[in-house]
Chain A
Amino acid sequence: MASEAVHSGAHSGVHAEAHEEAHHELPARVEPDVTTSELIATTEANATGVRNWMWILGALTLVGIVVAFVKVLIEWSDQDEWGYTAAMVAFLFSAFGGAPLVAIAGTLAKGNWVRPIARFAALCSLVSIICTIWMIPLILNLPMLVVDGARRRSIWFEGPDVSPHIWALVAMITLIISALGLIYAYAIPDFAAMRDHSTGWKQRFGAWLARGWIGTTVQWRTMRMRIGMMGTLYFFTFVFVHFIISTDFAMSLVPGWRDAIFPMYHAISSIQAGLAVTVIGLWAARKYLGLEKYLHLDQFWSIGRLMFAFTLLWGYFFISAFIVFWYGRSGSDQMWIDYLILGPYFWVFILAMLFIWFTPWWWLIWNRVRRSYNGTAIGAGLILLGVFLDRVRLYVAAWTVPEDRIHERFLTEYPSTVYPDVMDIFIMVGALAGSILLILAATRVLPILSIWDVQQFNLLYRPVEYMKTKVSLIGKPD
């Protein structure tokens, strides 16, 4: 097939963007030098605005930490007071922890569209640091395996008394290590670009972390291998952490709740939320860092389709559990429905269903919506709200079960609704602010879009004319 490159950079500005949304114009290619200099410049871009935001987020984080200390001092022994903190940690880990999977899966599947977004998705894994910090009071508040002389139900069976506590910590630390390893494996060529194109401390920092990178064939091959290894490690650790958090920090606290699908349900909704976080991050990067040239409809459209698929998958996993409990009608089956759905958090459940499943389903089903920047971002926002509410429904309900009833065959009297107090709100806002702050701070050092990935995207992509139409030609190297 004869291929002929279409003129690059034909459209620019607002008019071109509107035109692109309407007709899905093929993205124009950007020259390598321009890409490098513009993406390195993003670490300084909109410096005042970003700095102001960082101050605000830093202040909120600090307030959250101070309030958490106060809470530790006055409400330490009340397990039910920590439900909202548990929900927030579960939400943050779900949302930000799931995002890197977009990069990993896309890279392993050699998807070209995923290249420009891989960096941001990988950076989201930094939030595992925040989650680990906020998990410390939760780990310390988690009941021992032996309560009142008897062993409670858990996935640790006859394990040591502190198994859940130790394994939660081990899992989170492994996650942090794999997250940092993943970010670093992705970033080496960009550190080299920083070394060669920046000045001052950034140049020295880049030179130190680039480890003599000059882009030889061996270095590229090693880097790809590292990304594959760290990606696989991150994925397995991610699944393991979901398994630990969902069982030890929720299921095992509610007598009679035995739900084999729950860890997978937790992981699926995490990937759904991770996709949503990626969309919102990219939408913000496009809008506030002027990256329209690098973030195209292709990325939003592809993630939009994945979000839609995971929204349906969430519904499937939920119904798979629900139908078995509904038909089972045993005491513990009935308890699951009565306490976690129809019980004290009924309205939270309804809202969660609405935002995590029903509304995104009927919103993202439209191709026109998925093919728009704002439409996809709205869908993503709804999903994040839904996942947060779902975590509140599950974790607050689990943490409010009194410890003295943990040996019951199944819960017969349900604790009443616990609403968040002022301290809970400050802690939740602080944890969220801390997470955003960490990512924002990372983008001040590393470009939010990986330079080498964008370069490769441009190298492997050609807009070509085919008969009377325009198509993309995508290179598929081994």
Chain B
Amino acid sequence: MQQRRTIDQIHTNRVLLNGQLDTPKWWAPTVIVLGIIVAIGFFLIGIMVNKGLGVTGLSRPVYWGLFITTFVFWVGISHAGIMISAILRLSQAEWRRPVTRAAELLTVFSLLTALLFPLMHAGRPWRIIYFILPYDFARGIMPNVRSPLIWDPVAISTYLTGSTLFLYIALLPDLGNLRDRTTGWQNALYTILALGWRGNPRQWKLQTVGGILLSALMLPIFVSVHSIVSWDFAVTPAVEGWHSTIFAPYFVIGAVHSGVSAVVTMMALMRWLWKWEDFIRPEHFDALARLLIVVATGWLAFTFLELLFAVYGLDAPELELRDMQIFQWPWNLLFVTFLFTGYIIPVGMWLQKSVRNNIALMFWSSLFVNIGMWLERFMIIVPGLARKTPFVYTWEAYRPSGLEWFILFWSLAWVTFLMLLFSRFFPLVPLFEQKESQTFGDSIKIGRVRVPAIVREAD
């Protein structure tokens, strides 16, 4: 799997800084088109705030719909960064090196996007403040700090802060590099951001220790974030299909599945758009696909347990819900699509080595996963609410409006827009990681064969 390639440092600098020092021609038109979509999206959000949630399809009994599904989806995507960066850094996986920055970036931007959806969903976003401040001082109406709905913003904010720090610390050596290669206002900007980086042994030591400590600190936060999101649902016994003990790890592993797939999508785009064939190589896709097979199979096991133990109790409402979810139109179509796009098609493809090393096929299969994972969240959230229950006289009422669909696609454009803006000023592949991999790469002679080898420090 190790396709060793010797790349000198000058070539690394020139190619990996081509986004900042020599902006590609496609960049400006793409950013403008995305900017227009983003502006329209914000305009529509403004209309929704002005007119109220009546412009969406939300109504009783389905009060959580596309916005909450998309919120969960983006929180899931945000798990890419820590999975790839922190876990692979701690386990010293060499193939992580070109992937880490993009993954961390995806974490930050998808979290920023995720945070917007509960705000939109609130209808009157300013009232979100009552989540953390008393509603009425005089009457002593306090927020319920025992509610996962309170923990959610706390966990996500902590995760966002930590991820941003993580990204920034890993960016320092590259900022120093950019500072030394730019002039004018860019030089001033990079000088401030580089925090005096000179690359002396003490700074390297601090940067490495900081990265490792943050990796270790971020892991529990990473797990807690999606667990808390899952508990938004799981602690509600009133809605069938939600009250399951498996939800926390099930959401976390699903998030890793969708997040790592999103990283694959992004890496393929980076390789094509910036022509980084020397750095993002088939071996990296191969390694990610192998990881994804394991993660996806774990996720499938959790899906199976969730379904099995839902019907294990033989409670009539739960059985009716599952019957509706799996066998009744149009839910059955969504269920089958979710299963095929989330697992059967992509994993079936990844089992072939030729697919794992084919970047176009990896790109499409990773897109399939995220279609499936979005549907999974939709299938968890909506059917339980849409089913007719005793004393409820409206049901099956939810049909997402055009505005909701547009905002879903707007969120994709928004994240891409932010990524492209970032790429104009900062390298998407960490230069120092590349150089370090060159330094750490070696070979040893065993008999008549030279075997690729890697340097490991004693402690």
Given A3-B442, A260-B244, A466:B309 Cβ within 8 A? no
Interface string of B112-135 (1 = CB under 8 A from A): 000000000000000000000000
A265 to chain B, nearest CB (A): 9
Contacts of A325 in B (CB 8 A): 245
Q: Does A328 contact B (CB under 8 A)?
A: yes
Can you name the residue of chain B whose Cβ is closest to the Cβ of A330?
B237
A261 touches B249 (CB 8 A): yes
How long is the Cα–Cα vector from A153 to B302 in the complex, in angstroms? 21
- Write the nearest CB–CB distance from B245 to chain A, whole angstroms: 4
Contact bitstring B334-358, A, C-beta under 8 A = 1, else 0: 0000000000000000000000000
**B444 close to A460 (CB less than 8 A):** yes
Interface string of B432-455 (1 = CB under 8 A from A): 000000010011101000011111
Q: Does B175 lie at the interface of the complex (its beta carbon under 8 Å from any beta carbon of A)?
A: no
Chain A residues near B223 (CB, 8 Å)? 316
Give Cα distance in the complex from A475 to B443, angstroms.
7
Q: How far is the CA of A397 from the CA of B1 in the complex (A)?
A: 50
Cβ < 8 Å to A, chain B residues 303-326: 305-306, 308-314
Given A323-B231, A324-B234; A475-B444 close (CB under 8 Å): yes
Given contacts A1-B442, A258-B313, contact A324 B235 (CB under 8 A): yes
Cβ contact within 8 Å between A153 and B305: no
Query: Which of chain B's residues has its CB closest to A316's CB?
Result: B223
B244 to A: closest C-beta gap in Å: 5
Q: Does B56 belong to the interface (CB within 8 Å)?
A: no
Within A167-209, the residues touching B (CB, 8 Å) are none
Q: Which of B1-19 contact A (CB under 8 A)?
A: 1-2
B312 touching A155 by the CB < 8 A rule? Answer: yes
Question: Which residues from chain A contact B415 at a C-beta distance below 8 Å?
Answer: none
Could you tell me the distance between the alpha carbons of A312 and B452 in the complex, rounded to whole angstroms?
Answer: 35
Closest to A268 in B: B249
- Contact flag A153-B313 (CB < 8 Å), given A460-B444, A473-B444: yes
A459: CB under 8 A from chain B? Answer: yes
Q: In the complex the two chains form, what is the Cα distance from A154 to B312 in whole Å?
A: 7
B246 is contacted by which of A261, A464, A473 (Cβ under 8 Å)? A261
> In the complex, A222 Cα to B124 Cα: how many Å?
65
List residues of chain B with CB within 8 A of the CB of A293.
none
With a cutoff of 8 Å between Cβ atoms, the chain A residues found around residue B444 in the complex are 3, 460, 462, 473, 475
Taking a contact as CB atoms under 8 Å apart, the answer to whether B227 and A263 are in contact is: no
Complex contact B458–A470 (CB within 8 A): yes
- Known contacts: A3-B442, A258-B313, A324-B235. The answer to whether A477 contacts B451 by CB under 8 A is yes
Docked-complex contact B458 and A473, CB < 8 angstroms: no
Contacting residues, chain B, for A1 (C-beta < 8 A): 439, 442, 455
Q: How far apart are A476's CB and chain B's nearest CB, in angstroms? A: 5
B357, chain A: closest CB distance, angstroms: 13
Give 1 or 0 for each of A457-478: 1 = CB within 8 Å of chain B CB. 0011010101001111111111
Chain A positions within 8 Å of B248 at CB level: 261, 316, 320, 323
Q: How far is the CB of B415 from chain A (nearest CB, A)?
A: 29
> Are B452 and A324 neighbours in the complex by a CB distance under 8 Å?
no
Quick check: A476 and B243 within 8 Å, CB to CB? no
User: Is A333 interfacial (CB-CB < 8 Å)?
Assistant: yes
Q: What number of A-B contacts does a CB cutoff of 8 Å give?
A: 123
A259 to chain B, nearest CB (A): 5
Closest-by-CB residue of A relative to B441 is A1
CA distance A330 to B313 in the complex (A): 13
Q: A476–B451 contact, CB under 8 A?
A: yes
The reply on B456 being an interface residue by CB < 8 A is: yes
Decide: B306 and A260 in contact? CB cutoff 8 A: yes
Cβ of A362 within 8 Å of any chain B Cβ, yes or no, is no
Who on chain A is nearest to B456 by CB? A472
A464 to B301, CA, bound (A): 44
Q: Which B-chain residue is minimally distant from A320 (CB atoms)?
A: B248
In the assembly, what is the distance between CA of A193 and CA of B443, in Å?
29
Chain A: number of interface residues, binned into ranges: 35 or more
Q: Interface centre among A26, A261, A312, by most B CB within 10 Å?
A: A261
Beyond A260-B244, A460-B446, whether A474 also contacts B456 by CB under 8 A is yes
Q: B246-257 toward A: CB 8 Å interface, digit per residue (1/0)?
A: 111100000000
Tell whether A239 pairs with B309 under 8 Å between CB atoms, given A316-B223, A327-B235, A328-B243: no
A262 to B1, CA, bound (A): 37
CA gap between A85 and B245 in the complex, in Å: 28
Q: Could you say which of A155, A157, A316 contacts B249, with CB atoms under 8 Å apart?
A: A316
Q: Do most interface residues of chain A lie in helix, strand or loop, or is the interface mixed? A: mixed
Q: B453 near A476 (CB under 8 angstroms)?
A: yes
Q: Is the CB of A258 within 8 A of B312?
A: yes
Q: Which of B227, B237, B309, B314 contacts A259 (CB 8 A)?
A: B309
In the complex, the answer to whether A323 meets B235 with C-beta atoms within 8 Å is yes
A449–B19 alpha-carbon span in the complex (Å): 52
The residues in B between 206 and 224 inclusive whose CB is less than 8 angstroms from any CB of A are 220, 223
Q: How far is the CA of A321 from the CA of B248 in the complex (A)?
A: 9
Give every chain A residue within 8 A of B452 (Cβ-Cβ).
475-477
Chain A residue with Cβ nearest B294: A108
Whether the pair A155, B235 counts as a contact (CB closer than 8 A) is no
Contact of B459 with A by CB under 8 A? yes
**Are B308 and A473 in touch, CB under 8 angstroms?**
no
A264 at the interface (CB under 8 A from B): yes
What is the CB-to-nearest-CB distance from B196 to chain A, in angstroms, rounded to a whole number?
25
Q: Which residues of A contact B305 (CB under 8 A)?
A: 260-261, 263-264
Measured CA separation A157–B1 after assembly (Å): 46
Asked whether B457 is an interface residue with its Cβ less than 8 Å from the other chain, the reply is yes
- Cα–Cα distance between A333 and B235 once the two chains are bound (Å): 11
In the docked arrangement, what's the CA distance between A33 and B190, Å?
59
Could you tell me the distance between the alpha carbons of A460 and B451 in the complex, rounded to whole angstroms? Answer: 8
Interface string of A240-261 (1 = CB under 8 A from B): 0000000000000000001111
Whether the pair A476, B2 counts as a contact (CB closer than 8 A) is yes
Are the CB atoms of B453 and A474 closer together than 8 Å? yes
Cβ–Cβ contact A260 & B453, under 8 A:
no
| Cβ contact within 8 Å between B244 and A324 | yes
- Verify B237–A328 contact, CB threshold 8 A: yes
- Contact A320 B246, beta carbon cutoff 8 Å: yes
Assembled-state Cα–Cα distance A258/B305 (Å): 11
Q: A260-B305, A460-B444, A462-B444 are in contact. Are A472 and B249 (CB under 8 A)?
A: no
Q: Is A226 an interface residue (CB 8 A)?
A: no
Cβ-based interface call for A213 (8 A) = no
Bound Cα distance A404, B459 (Å): 60
Distance in angstroms from A153 CB to nearest chain B CB is: 6
**A26/B458 in contact, CB under 8 A:** yes
0/1 per residue, A21-38, Cβ < 8 Å to B?
A: 000111000000000000
- Which chain B positions have C-beta within 8 A of A474? 453-456
Residues of B within 8 A of A478 (CB): 1-2
Could you say which residues of chain B place their CB within 8 Å of the CB of A157? Answer: 311
Question: How close is A16's CB to chain B, nearest CB, in angstroms?
Answer: 15
Distance to closest chain A CB from B456 (angstroms)? 5
- Contact in complex: A153, B457 (CB < 8 Å): no
One digit per residue, 1 when the CB lies within 8 angstroms of any chain B CB and 0 when it does not, for chain A 385-413 equals 00000000000000000000000000000
Task: Give A460 to B308 CA distance when docked, in angstroms.
Answer: 46
Bound together, the chains give a CA A342 to CA B306 distance in angstroms of 26
Residues of B within 8 A of A153 (CB): 312-314
Q: Identify the A interface with B (CB < 8 A).
A: 1, 3, 24-26, 153-155, 157, 239, 258-264, 312, 316-317, 320-321, 323-325, 327-330, 332-333, 459-460, 462, 464, 466, 469-478
22 contacts between A and B (CB under 8 A): A1-B439, A1-B455, A3-B442, A24-B459, A153-B313, A260-B246, A261-B245, A261-B249, A263-B305, A264-B249, A264-B301, A316-B223, A316-B249, A317-B249, A320-B246, A321-B245, A323-B231, A323-B234, A324-B235, A324-B244, A329-B237, A462-B444
| Given A260-B246, A260-B309, A474-B455, 13 new contacts (CB under 8 A) | A239-B301, A258-B309, A258-B312, A259-B309, A260-B306, A260-B308, A324-B231, A324-B243, A324-B244, A324-B245, A327-B234, A327-B235, A471-B457
Nearest 7 A/B pairs, CB to CB: A260-B309, A327-B235, A260-B246, A320-B248, A321-B245, A475-B451, A261-B245
